[in-house]
Each structure stands twice: as structure tokens, then as C-alpha cells.
Amino acid sequence: MIPENVRKLSVLEDMLAKLEQKKNEMEKAAEAAKNNLDRARDAYNRAQSDAGHAENQLTEAKKRKEKAQNLFQTAIRDAEFSSEEAYMAAKMEEKQQHQLQMEIQQFRQEQSTLNEQIRELQQLLQDRQRTDLVAIEQQLQALKQKYEQALEKWQQSKDYFENARDLKTNIQEAAEKVAASEKQLSIIADLHDVIRGQNSQKISFERFLQMEYLEQIIEAANHRLKNMSNGQFMLIRSKRQESRGKQSGLSIDVFDSYTGQTRDVKTLSGGEKFNASLCLALGMADVIQSFQGNISIQTMFIDEGFGTLDEESLNKAIDTLVDLQKSGRMIGVISHVRELKDVFPAILEVAKSKEGVSHTKFVVK
């Protein structure tokens, strides 16, 4: 018959769960007990091994102690001590023993050194005769006299040395002053060479300033030359180096836009040169007036050159002169070109007679 307390399945399952938990706890306890037993056995085995090793060490220590005691007793007997108590009574402190050992060692070293010195002196004095002290005294007096003479010369040499050192100092100071003066002179000389054109560019300071004015004159001249040459020519300050020691910087080249090349202004034809010269003269006048406001160039004379111009160039030159005249300047032209006579309102004609006398007259239109 089933007990009443387990008739319910839930109660039975709860009891089984508790029994299963208790079983697991007992199995864990058994496992822990087994592990503790294994550790205890290992500890026991190690303890037995350590005990055996300790017994061996104890036996060995007893043997060493017995051997040391025997050696100690033998040493006491060899030292002629009646007993161990007598040895302990006669025993010094370690510090005193160390001090005595040091003194004994030092004594032996000094003794060895003295013995070596005695041996060397004996070898040195072997086969030697007694020295005559009187003769040595005389030699000593003679050497003293020579010493005093040498000392006097040395003192003189010392004075000479002091004087020479002072002289050397003065010479060095003078040399430094000379070097400083030479350095300053070199700077001044270099500056002088730069100013007078003795440099890599062969340009003096004066010419450098002239180059600046020339650049401005060329710029002013190109405004007119461009029109007079139909845009073909433009003046350029040349940067080429002059030969045979001549200074550079004031030469003029011309750029030909038709050929795309730059050449010396000397290569221009007669008419082209005249136009370039006229433009430079007018440009110079413009630049001078721009720098000096109180200077006014109202009158200009042009001597010849028009005969070398072709018709187109002549007309352009005339137009330029007319424009200048309209700006308020008085333009004087010395020329045999008839076209110019028709342009200007006032003409001073000069006629040469057969007698060699010139006659002049004004013609006002």
C-alpha cells in the first residue's frame, strides 16, 4: 500500500528532487574528501623525504663539527697552548690582529727595500776609490762662479725678453691697426672702383645714374618713334659689355618688329637715324622738364638731316614738328628741303653771293 505522504505526484517529485540534490552534495563531498586524501598523502611523502634529507644533513654536519674540533685541538697543541682556556685568554681581538699583520707586512716591505738599496750601493761602490774632497770643493767654487755669471746673463736675457715682448705687443697692436686701416681702405677702394666703373658690369656710379635717365629718355622717345616708324622700331638701352676697357650701359640698340631682332642703332639707315635722333632729343627735353619743374624748353633748333628722309618719313617728321609748335614751342629748322619751307610760317633765307658774302632775309607768310 502506498504511503499517504507520497500518493501525490508533486510531493513525490519534490522528494526525488531533494534526494537528487542531497546525492549530488554527497558526491561532491566524497570527491573533495578524495582530493584532500591525495594531497595529504603527497604532503606525507614529501615530509618523509624531507625528514630523510634532514637526517642526512644532520649526520654530515656532525661529521664536519667533529673534524673542525679535531683540527682546532691540533692547532692549539701545535701553538703550545696547554688548554683551550689558555688559547682564549691569549687570543687578541681581530682589530689588533689586523693592525699587527699590517705592521709586519710594512716592516717586511721596508726591509726588502733597504736590502735592495744596500745591494745596489754595494754594486755601485765596487772598485771605487775615495774621492778628493778638496778638489771637489774647488770644482764646486768654480761651478758657483760660472753659475753666477750664467745667472747674470739669464737676467739680462730676461730683460731683453721683456723688452722684446713689449715690442712684439706694440708691433701686433700696430699690425692690427694697419689691418683695420687696410680693411677700411679696401672697402673705400672697392667703393671707389664701383663708383669709377672698375667692376664686372663696367658701369660707374655716374653712368648708373645716367642709365636711369637714359631709360626714361628712351621711353619718352619711343612714344614718337613708334608713330614715325609705323610701329617698326623701338629703342632699347643695350646691356652688352663694351670691349677694350670702355664703360658700358649707355649704348642704344633698336628692336625691329618686322624682323623680330635687336641690333645696334648704328645699323639704321640715314633717315632712320635722323628719326631716332629727333625722338631722343624730344624725349630728353620732356624728361628734363618733368624733373626740373622750373625749367621750360620752349625753343629747339634742328640742323639738317631731313634730306635723308623719304617722303613718308619726311611727312611724319613734319607732323611731329608741327605738333610741337602747336604745343607752344618755337621750332627752328636748318635745312635745304623745299617741303619744309612750305610748312613753317617764318623763314630766314641765307643766300651766298659770288663774292663770298652771304645775304640773309626774313620771309613771313
- Would you say the C-alpha torsion 36, 37, 41, 42 has a positive or negative sign? negative
For residue 277, the tally of other CB atoms under 10 A from its CB is 15
Q: What pLDDT score was predicted for residue 73?
A: 78
Residue 27 lies in a domain: no
> What angle is formed at CA 209 by the lines to CA 205 and CA 214, rounded to 5 degrees?
135
Residue 86 lies in a domain: no
Residue with cell 508533486: 10
Shared domain check, 356 and 327? yes
Residue with cell 648708373: 208
Q: What pLDDT score was predicted for residue 202?
A: 66
> What angle is formed at CA 112 by the lines to CA 106 and CA 116, rounded to 5 degrees?
145
Shared domain check, 284 and 214? yes
Shared domain check, 236 and 226? yes
Q: What pLDDT score was predicted for residue 90?
A: 67
Question: 259, 275, 296 — which closes off a domain?
Answer: 296
Outline where the chain has alpha helix (H). Answer: 9-78, 84-90, 94-125, 133-196, 205-228, 270-291, 311-326, 338-343
Shared domain check, 209 and 290? yes
Residue 92 lies in a domain: no
Shared domain check, 238 and 309? no
**Three-state DSSP class for residue 253:** strand
Question: 259, 277, 296 — which closes off a domain?
Answer: 296
Going by C-alpha positions, the residue among 200, 193, 216 that lies closest to residue 248 is 200
Question: 296, 329, 354 — which closes off a domain?
Answer: 296
Q: What pLDDT score was predicted for residue 353?
A: 79
Grid coordinates representing 94 are 681581530
Residue with cell 693592525: 99
Shared domain check, 352 and 291? no
Distance CA 269, CA 266 (A): 8
Shared domain check, 259 and 214? yes
Distance CA 166, CA 163 (A): 5
**Three-state DSSP class for residue 188:** helix
Residue 311 lies in a domain: yes
CATH for 288:
3.40.50.300
Shared domain check, 266 and 221? yes
Residue 353 lies in a domain: yes
Shared domain check, 286 and 213? yes
Number of structural domains the chain divides into: 2
> What angle is formed at CA 266 by the lines to CA 260 and CA 267, rounded to 5 degrees?
50
Domain that holds residue 265: 204-296
Residue with cell 670702355: 246
Q: How would you list the strands of the sheet with 233-237, edge to edge?
A: 233-237, 252-256, 261-264
Task: Show Cβ contacts of residue 72 under 8 Å, excluding neighbours closer than 6 positions.
Answer: 84
Shared domain check, 335 and 283? no
Shared domain check, 261 and 306? no
Low-confidence ranges of the chain (pLDDT < 50): none
pLDDT in tens, 150-171: 889 999 988 899 998 899 989 9
Distance CA 317, CA 335 (A): 13
- Would you say the C-alpha torsion 148, 153, 157, 159 has a positive or negative sign? positive
Shared domain check, 288 and 225? yes
Specify the amino acid at residue 125: L
Residue 259 lies in a domain: yes
Partnered with residue 350 across adjacent β-strands are 360
pTM tops 0.75, yes or no:
no
Residue 328 lies in a domain: yes
Residue 252 lies in a domain: yes
